[in-house]
Structure 1
Amino acid sequence: MSDFPYWWLIVLPVFFGLGWLAARVDIKHVLSETRSLPAAYFKGLNFLLNGQTNQAVDVYVDIARHHAETVDLQFTLGHLFRRRGELERAIRMHQKLLERRDLSETQRQSAQFELAKDFLKAGLFDRAETLLTELQNTDYARRARNELLAVYQQEKDWQKAIETAQQLRDESQSYQHEIAQFHCELAEQAFARSQQQVAQQHLNAALAENRQCARAKLLLGEIEQGCGRHQQAIDLWLDVESQDALALALIARKLLASYDALGRGEEGTLLLLRLLGQYPELDVLDLVYERLMAQRGLDAAYEFVREQLKAHPTMPGLRKVLEAHLLVAPDDQKYELEIIGKLLTEATREQTLYYCSTCGFKARQYFWHCPACSEWETYPPVRGRKNRTA
């Protein structure tokens, strides 16, 4: 007991006292910070939490008018203006922030990034690109590149989109599907200018990025067909079956044209019949009906659509049966059948469109890149289908 360090009895109360004093200082600091905020700030916050954006903006504008030094509040206002669609006010707010000399470097970068987003929302892509490019070597580099990628896709600058996507690659996202699609876009442009060699280079690059890129194989097949190499075109197109058989509907007519060019038209028809039997949703019913009419006559075509309707009852199938029946019906029944056909066509018009499975945007033509939400490969290649799995 004689070795007990009695000096601890003095030191311990001192430590407790210092801790109590530090806590008191922190509490006073927090309370003073809270009191320095205008009461209306919390009123605006309450509006925000309740989703009442318009009322929140009105409150914060009034606060900012009397507390212009509040940087965070100005950021909040700029965001709210953009969210509410008041882009001119959002732009002015963020430009005003950038003019301030008391901003930290992080705040300045944040203001520049927010201003770029304002310009993007306003469709001023050149101004947005300039600001985002200046952020390449900052803490906002990755976010800036993400926005730049959206800009380049909007502007259809596919080469810059490829470069930017490659810079964004990391363990969480490879961007291989997007880069493959960018190469396909460049190939389409080259194909339109009759630059087949350039188009083929881009399509090979697309497949190097994504071996399962159905679009690249479909386009390569078109190049082969254009050069008169019909068997090579057929081989490329049929290779798509293993990865996305429904996509064959997009080139079915061209596929049959290559079979016809080789003098094997009946083989092509049988192939489509086999594919339709395996994949009932394959969107080639009209084409098969048309082929059977030309090759085997009305009775064979009529029997085909009737059997197809029995096996897989669908509204498109019913329309096709009615169309075929109209050709063989007695004259005294045709008027009623024509009326039924028109009513059925009107009632099922929505089933003749393609739908984006992400945003629901509908279109008469097929898109690899949705013009509404800018997502890739979101259109099932089946008219009337609203998602890729249903």
Structure 2
Amino acid sequence: MEFDLSWVLLGLPLAFVLGWLASRLDLRQIRLENRQAPKAYFKGLNYLLNEQQDQAIDAFIEAVQNDPDTSELHFALGNLFRRRGEYERAVRVHQHLLSRADISPADRHRAQHALALDFLKAGLLDHAETALLKLEGTPFEAQARLALLANYERSRDWPQAAQMAEKLAHAGQGSFAPRLAHYLCEQAATQVAQGHLEAALQLLQSAITKAPEAARARLDLAQLLIRMGQEVMAWNALMQALDSAPSATPLIARPLAELALRCGNGAATLARLQQLYAEHASLDVLEAIVTLSGADPAGQTSARDWYARHLEKEPSLVAATRWIAGEKLEHEQFHPQVQRALDHAVQPLLRYRCAACGFEASKHFWQCPGCQTWDSYPARRVEEL
């Protein structure tokens, strides 16, 4: 049977025409899909820019339905749900991404990290810990460890927090020595509450070794030694704290003055505080000096004189109020009312303010109750900032 070349010659143009038609149909379909998906996507972006999150979510859902394989749309949708507080929907979006076998390893790690953030925002700390631990060895490892550290601090799991801080320090994420000292102090406080004073003593000594320049461990140690009846050792601990943590002098001054009077070390303590006050004037150091001067029979400087000296150094409503308290006014019958008004006016000035978030409190905190930042409270009062 002879092969007829005429059929080949006729078939080639036909095949070419059919191929061209098929390609045109495919191109039209692709163009149609591309027009539909970006239209919904850009519509969602426009709603976001106008802060219309409900409409943005609807637009992104439409875009995902048109192209369910687009992972970026899923991430955008999940992040929107999380920002709105719809954590269950955010979790479902990210879990759906993780269940897909066709996403890249990078997107899988990203989805795992997003899922962990969903759990954290929802307050599901156990689920968040499990999700974060799966990010070890991924590009999100450092972020996951920081989140785990915050998670352990939030749940007051101080041993676990210490282990995570050590890992971060070894990975070159900075120095965590002051924070590790805080963890030891927190554990010591628990031991004191349970009556295990020796165990607390060992923890505080470890904290001082971990961060010698930190003031909290020495202050807590002094309180513990007082409780154990070792007041002279407590006084020594506070005197050492003045040298190792000079920035915390205002926090140390008052308990040191009270302890010095009980130990009979008032003169030495007064001389040291006067030296520090001359270098850096402070309201708390001033009050400690006034306390010690009032207990010294040979003292030549009265409390009112010390307040007047402070006013010469810098304007202070607090010092002025203290000075007026000992002054005899021309209309003395109105003195109690005036003094009460001044005392009320200076109360906000005697607070401490977080340098990170501005949260104010009547007492000094080592960790801000507002933003959970460590060592964000300066030792000085609001009036001195």
Higher Rg: 2
Equivalents in 1 of 2:368, 2:49: separation in Å? 33
2:372 corresponds to 1:374: yes
Once the two structures are superposed, residues 297-352 of structure 1 have per-residue CA deviations (whole angstroms, 9 ceiling, x without a partner) of 99922222223222332121112112222xx446x4241x3333343344443212
2:181 corresponds to 1:180: yes
Aligned to 1:361: 359
How many residues are matched?
Answer: 354
Aligned to 1:260: 261
- What are the residue-to-residue correspondences of 1:237-276 with 2, within 5 Å? 237-276=238-277
| Contact preservation (8 Å) 2:366, 2:374 | yes
Aligned to 2:42: 42
Shift of 1:241: 2.5
| Contact preservation (8 Å) 1:94, 1:115 | yes
Equivalents in 2 of 1:121, 1:247: separation in Å? 35
Instruction: Name the SS for the 2:245 alignment partner.
Output: helix
- What are the residue-to-residue correspondences of 1:209-224 with 2, within 5 Å? 209-224=210-225
Shift of 1:106: 3.8
Equivalents in 2 of 1:316, 1:257: separation in Å? 21
2:94 corresponds to 1:94: yes
Aligned to 1:76: 76
TM-score norm. by structure 1 comes to 0.79
Once the two structures are superposed, residues 119-177 of structure 1 have per-residue CA deviations (whole angstroms, 9 ceiling, x without a partner) of 11122212211222233354433322111101001111110001011112223413222
TM-score norm. by structure 2 comes to 0.80
For structure 2, the residue ranges without an aligned partner over 5 or more in a row are: 1-26
Instruction: Name the SS for the 1:276 alignment partner.
Output: helix
Instruction: Name the SS for the 1:239 alignment partner.
Output: helix
Aligned to 1:324: 326
Amino acid at match of 2:155: E
| Identity between Structure 1 and Structure 2 (%) | 35
Amino acid at match of 1:384: V
- After superposition, the Cα gap between the structure-2 partners of 1:38 and 1:102, relative to the gap in structure 1 and judged at 3 Å, is same
Shift of 1:361: 1.0
Equivalents in 2 of 1:339, 1:55: separation in Å? 59
| Contact preservation (8 Å) 2:286, 2:306 | no
Instruction: Name the SS for the 2:302 alignment partner.
Output: helix
For structure 1, the residue ranges without an aligned partner over 5 or more in a row are: 1-27
Equivalents in 2 of 1:365, 1:266: separation in Å? 28
Equivalents in 2 of 1:353, 1:236: separation in Å? 26
Amino acid at match of 1:351: L
Shift of 1:86: 3.0
| Contact preservation (8 Å) 1:246, 1:279 | no
- After superposition, the Cα gap between the structure-2 partners of 1:216 and 1:188, relative to the gap in structure 1 and judged at 3 Å, is same
Shift of 1:294: 5.1
| Contact preservation (8 Å) 1:165, 1:179 | yes
- What are the residue-to-residue correspondences of 1:166-315 with 2, within 5 Å? 166-169=166-169, 170-293=171-294, 295=296, 300-315=302-317
- What are the residue-to-residue correspondences of 1:108-127 with 2, within 5 Å? 108-127=108-127
**Superposition RMSD in Å:** 3.1
Equivalents in 2 of 1:106, 1:82: separation in Å? 21
